[in-house]
Amino acid sequence: MLRVGCILRGGGGVLLCLHRTAQYRYPSGPERVLTRSLSRTPDSSRVALKLRTRLGVTLLVGVALLGAWWWVEQERQQRRRRQRVEQLRTVALGQGTFSLLDHTGRRRTKQDFLGRWVLLYFGFTHCPDICPDELDKLSAVVSALDRDPALPRLQPLFITVDPERDDVAALARYVRDFHPRLVGLTGTPEEVRHAGRDFRVYASAGPKDEDGDYIVDHSVLLYLVSPDGLFLDYYNRTKSPEQIADSIRNHIRNHVPFGAPV
């Protein structure tokens, strides 16, 4: 570093300026390294505080994003359920009524089952294999849901598509082989057709053999009906009892009563 000094000398007013280089001692060796290290290393507590702050901000952002995703997903599912209910309300399927005799001879109408969840099957007692299999599946579903005390009891129904042979006595013998709450329903051919038509059930009797026996070709579906008497879903032969039970649980938990705003 250059230093300059000036003095006034003599009577002639001569200004004499002197200069010299100032000498400074800089640290070297280990001392210099240590000095630089201490001057450049932040305090450890400050570093920990910054890390905690960053971690906290990251967690808050993650929670916010997860919450936003959950809210959007719930809204989307609710919108789908509302659209589903609205679609069902515009369809005539299952919204009519019926008047049939049960397997004890008592006249029953659709109004008798309002307020209960109903799992319904159309078939006939002379069916060799498909109907028993489907009624076994229906019984397994009802029994599985019965084991959940938080769920309402499901009412199983069986409506014949063969009223010519399936009278009250035949139904009484037949339903004993399945769930104890299973109700069998029959009636005149016109009453049975009316009930089936309400659910768009297809049924057609085949030709009779030499013994007068015949097979009825018909729809093979389980129908889920809400406590409002509204058709909600159907299940074909490919659905297992576990899949059907899970579907019905979801319907029950997410049910929007008929007449409620959608």
Ordered domains of the chain (ranges, CATH): 2-40 (no CATH), 99-253 (3.40.30.10)
- Dmax over Cα atoms in the chain, in whole Å? 159
Binding residues: 127, 131, 218
Binding residues for Cu cation: 127, 131, 218
User: Mean of the pLDDT values across residues 169-177?
Assistant: 97
Q: Which has more pLDDT, 80 or 33?
A: 80
Q: Give me the helix-helix angle, 241-253 and 130-146, nearest 10°.
A: 50
Please name the amino acid found at residue 1: M
Please give the pLDDT value at position 48. 77
Please give the pLDDT value at position 69. 78
pLDDT in tens, 52-61: 888 888 888 8
Q: Which has more pLDDT, 40 or 192?
A: 192
On whether the pTM is more than 0.75, the answer is: no
pLDDT in tens, 135-154: 999 999 999 999 999 999 99
User: Mean of the pLDDT values across residues 171-194?
Assistant: 97
Please give the pLDDT value at position 91. 45
